[in-house]
Structure 1
Amino acid sequence: MTAFIWIGAANIVLYFGICLLLYFGQQYIIFEPRFQLRDPVPADLPLDYETVAIPTGDDQTLTGWWFPCAESDGKTVLFFHGNGGFEEFNFRTITILHCLGFAVLAFNYRGYGRSEGKFPNEKRVYEDACAGYDFLRQRYRIQPNNLLLYGHSLGGAIAIELATRYPVAGLFLESTFASMLEMSITKTYMQFFPIDRILNQRFDSRYKIPHLRIPIFFCHGTADETVPSFMSPRLMAIANEPKHLIMVEGADHHNLPAVGSETLQEGIQWLCQKLQWQN
């Protein structure tokens, strides 16, 4: 009997220990920052760009890249990457946006690449998004009615948060999720823990998106095993009009710009039509 009591007590201690680890360490599960000595911009990228330093409100500096476009007439995209930082497929997306007549500002959140700052968390990446927005407005005089936000995966949640704080023209959301809670419960092992009570990095786009009154385009690959493909339709269902969703057959979490390049073009053209922009 004593052995059973000790085993039971050990299991209880282990369970609560895991809960504490999840509570205090979840940002280290969500974010995967990598330090990079050199720019991640591919050497063969067929675009001119300028490496820029973006100041934050807490005296840190973020590294970014400004891709000017002579044909943009002020129309600009602020690009937000996912939790793994900038990947080659992100620059494929930027190339498509540029070819469609948009200037683009992309940057690394704090802790990623050569950006300064502490390890990222939800609050800090929101502050970084605001810093990127302010930088565009102040340095390049970009007007809110000429600004689209583009977010891939976690970047979609960051773009949605920014759109609740500042005026923008529209949103383009690629392979993003409804909330971190809903992402967590897709993992079978997480269902044994009180995730709703433990979670402090919530990225709750499902709560925020019904408050937006701007055109929103969603796209998602049907073969996405990182963010389940039902997430974009779930978000789209509660978004206000105008909204549009395209599911890209066979695309996964990282190759949608290659498999579905026509979808990206269609999404931008749809947004331009809703905003009555010439494109």
Structure 2
Amino acid sequence: MFGHAAVVRYLRRTVYPVPSAEPVDVGDGAEIIRTPGPEPAFALHTPPVTGRTVVYFHGNAQQLSDAGPLMDAVVATGLGFVAVEYPGYGLAADQQPSESSLYAAAVAILEHLRRETGLEPEQTVLLGHSLGTAVAVEMATRGYGGRLVLSAPFTSTAGMVRHHARFVPARLFTAGDRFDSLAKAGQVEVPTLLIHGADDVVVPTRMSAALAENLRIAHRVVLPGRGHNDLGGAISQAAILAATEAPDRWGTLTSFSDT
């Protein structure tokens, strides 16, 4: 029989399935940010030519090195781009991932950008995919963004446990890592665009529906024939739309192209 501690360690590896670290391809005009201190935060950053900056929080099986195609699509429009690395992942592999440490890394990067580049919340589009949606929602509740984009968002860790592993007590999964975006949705004051693949078998579409119902200003698009990890260019298109169009125009959007 496995002991309680062993079960908790296994469940945490399920929440944080850290991939093998890969080098980050820093393109022209981009830089790696490393904040000072014993546990630095890391980010990939390209400043804007004009307009807003998209700040991206990746999924739980991704890392900073996976952000290149998204960065290329966003910066091609002249917008700025930032991808934040999580503790325990990639450049921050020697740190420990947790809900609190992910939030701390996000805050460290956003505060660094405010001090060093003058990036203000109203010029910031917070973008999250999967696990990253919880980080983006938390940053929105703390006033760090002017607009919010959620790709394949889940309601909470407990909700995911109930969906995938009803035999596992949710308390084992949620010890310190609740990621309860549904409880926080009413605190989000900024316009929010949600996208979700209709065939997502990881995060059920009812979760994005529940979030949309509880957000103050929300537009939700369900993409036919898409799953959890094949949203492709839809993520960049949603981010660009949120950064360049007024929220009252988001309602005219019903789908995204396959590019």
Which TM-score bucket, shorter chain as reference? Answer: 0.7 to 0.9
Contact 1:66 1:105 in 2 (8 A): yes
Amino acid at match of 2:31: E
Q: Does 1:195 align with 2:178?
A: no
The residue that corresponds to 1:96 in the other structure is 73
Inter-partner Cα distance in structure 2 for 1:161 and 1:260: 19
Say whether 1:27 aligns with 2:12: yes
SS class of match (1:191): coil
Q: CA deviation at 1:204?
A: 0.4
1:136 to 97, 102, 113: 113
Name stretches of at least 5 consecutive residues in structure 2 with no aligned partner: 251-259
1:213 corresponds, among 189, 192, 201, to 189
**1:227 to 2:203 alignment:** yes
What is the identity, as a one-letter code, of the residue corresponding to 1:30? V
The one-letter code matched in structure 2 to 1:28 is: R
Distance 1:89 1:248, change over 3 A: farther
Task: Work out whether 1:48 is the aligned partner of 2:33.
Answer: no
Match of 2:39 in 1: 60
Give distance in 1, aligned partners of 2:64 and 2:39.
Answer: 23
Find the residue that maps to 1:94 and give its secondary structure: helix
Aligned match of 1:111 in 76, 88, 92?
Answer: 88
Using the alignment, how far apart are the partners of 1:100 and 1:181 within structure 2? 38
Partner residue, 1:3: none
Query: Which segments of 5 or more consecutive residues in structure 1 lack a partner in the other structure?
Result: 1-13
For each residue in 1:181-200, what CA deviation from the matched residue of structure 2 results, as whole angstroms up to 9, or x when unmatched? 1111111xx22233146521
Deviations 1:22-61 (A, max 9, x none): 44543222112235352155xxx6x5311221346xx212
Secondary structure of residue in 2 paired with 1:236 = helix
Greater Rg by CA: 1
Amino acid at match of 2:19: R
Contact 1:125 1:158 in 2 (8 A): yes
Quote the Cα distance in structure 2 between the aligned partners of 1:34 and 1:269.
Answer: 33
Aligned to 1:146: 123
- Is 1:256 paired with 2:241? no
Question: How many residues align structurally?
Answer: 249
> Could you tell me which amino acid in structure 2 is paired with residue 235 of structure 1?
L
CA RMSD of aligned residues (A): 2.7
Q: Equivalent residue of 1:252, what SS?
A: coil
CA distance in 2, matches of 1:24, 1:116: 17
1:270, distance to aligned residue in structure 2 (A): 4.4
Report the identity percentage.
25
Distance 1:62 1:85, change over 3 A: farther
